[in-house]
Amino acid sequence: MTYTMTSALPDPDRQAVFYDGIPAKRLFAWVVDVALIFIAMLLLGVLTLSIAWFLWPLFWIATSFLYRSLTIASGSATLGMRLMNIELRNAQGQRLNGTEAMMHTGGYLLCASFFLPHVLSIGMIALSQRHQSLPDAFLGTAAINRPR
């Protein structure tokens, strides 16, 4: 019998330590990231003389996309993820590059924009072996505890 490796991510059965506590850590990281984006939005409102407040949804999406893409591209984790000591890895087990970071962020924002995909994504994080969200499943990425 032959086995084909479809991913270089840590095996959740043999290397479960990489996935311990990931759902809770992702939730807390998300809360930190949303708080940081909210603070950035307040600052943008002041700097743009309240224009950002009138166009809140557009500025929120742009700010969130830039924040998440840039921080994930620079260290494979947002600031909230770094605080929780987790990072994203691609199917080859490598840190995400700029293109992968933008695709992951775009997938996240798309899922978060609609109720059913967002609920499905949350359920997947809670119940799947690698605790992958919907964008993670499409891209072959996963959040893991940062290796030492």
Place of tokens 């993820």: 81
Query: Token pair of 16, please?
Result: 């479960």
Classify 32 in phi/psi space as left (phi over 0), alpha (psi -120 to 50) or beta: alpha
Residue range 108-145, pLDDT digits in tens? 999 999 999 999 999 999 999 999 999 999 999 999 99
CA distance 97 to 131: 21
Distance from chain centroid for Cα 112: 11
pLDDT value, residue 113 = 96
Q: Decide: helix, strand or coil at residue 97.
A: coil
